[in-house]
Structure 1
Amino acid sequence: MKPEGSVAQKLHDVIRQIGANKNTQIELGTVTAASPAFTVQIDGTKLELDADDCVVTVRVAESGLAVDDRVILTELSDGQTYVILDRLGAF
């Protein structure tokens, strides 16, 4: 469970409210190598994803990913692929 009030938890709650899979897990990560052959380190894990492990939304693809960008991800049901939903912005 993500910390209450965190951006990840709020996004997770919205997805649940609109009827998505109850097992949806929202993760945060940091880009460690830039587009097009990007890599993303998922917070709190040793898992580092490369571009072949990910699908990016049009919004993310239009401007690419830069080193140290913070991103919001979710794992697809195949357990092998992640979707990079967006960058995490400052509030």
Structure 2
Amino acid sequence: MARIKITLFGALREKLGWDSKVVEIPYNKCSFRKLLDMIPELRDIMIENNKIKEGFIVLVDGIHIQFKGGLDAEINDGDEISIFPPGGGG
């Protein structure tokens, strides 16, 4: 079993109603895609056409997820994931 900490930032916090949570998965590791499938309310906001929507920044232990394989990135016990929504400008 693995424990993964997910922390949300910006408007995601208000939209989902939580700042951070620890997700327990029944495996030692899984893909980011599989982890999101366990949190459908987050998946539905972040994923479109089988990709992370443009503008989202996802860090796994401080490393941008695109450098770890994107949705197929391996997530391990103890990893900390930070998710930032697209920013607005003006």
TM-score, scaled relative to structure 1: 0.31
Q: Which has the higher strand share?
A: 2
